[in-house]
Amino acid sequence: MKKLFLFAAMAFMPMLVSAQDTPEVSVSVEAIVGDARMAPDVRIKRSLALLQERSTVEREQGNAVAADRLQQSLTYLLQAPTNAEAAELAAQAAEAAGAGDSETALVLAESAAELAGANEALEPPVLE
């Protein structure tokens, strides 16, 4: 029995070594959404995913107020235009949420949504 155990341990040893040598994957919010050269739609989608995940974590930890703020942030970002300015605000909202500041995340997301209204305000009125 002891020989079988030693054989099994030796058989799995290469797997343990190779797992230790794998590169670390970045999990920072900045690394996921921080690159301003990223396409705005991709940056906004990634920010939405991060906000959704953070909202779930907050709810699981019993922080319903923060979770609700982050859900409202998602609603606002879904209304935001797909441009570089909105993408930057979305990324900043995700970074604020990642830092535990759901109130700032909400304000930033609301600002992104307001850009849609600002774009409409620039259109000339339709004359009948």
**Domains: count for the chain:** 1
Distance (Å, rounded) from C-alpha 66 to C-alpha 19? 36
How big, in percent rounded to 5, are the helix, strand and coil portions of the chain? 75, 0, 25
Q: Are the beta carbons of 51 and 74 closer than 8 angstroms?
A: yes
| pLDDT over threshold 80, residue 21 | no
For residue 34, tell me if it sits in a domain: no
Read off the pLDDT of residues 53-65 as tens digits, 9 standing for 90 and up: 999 999 999 999 9
pLDDT at 1: 60
For residue 87, tell me if it sits in a domain: yes
For residue 1, tell me if it sits in a domain: no
Calculate the CA dihedral of residues 35, 38, 41, 42 and round it to 10 degrees.
-80
Comparing C-alpha atoms, which of 110, 99, 109, 102 is closest to residue 48? Answer: 109
Region 38-67: mean pLDDT is 94
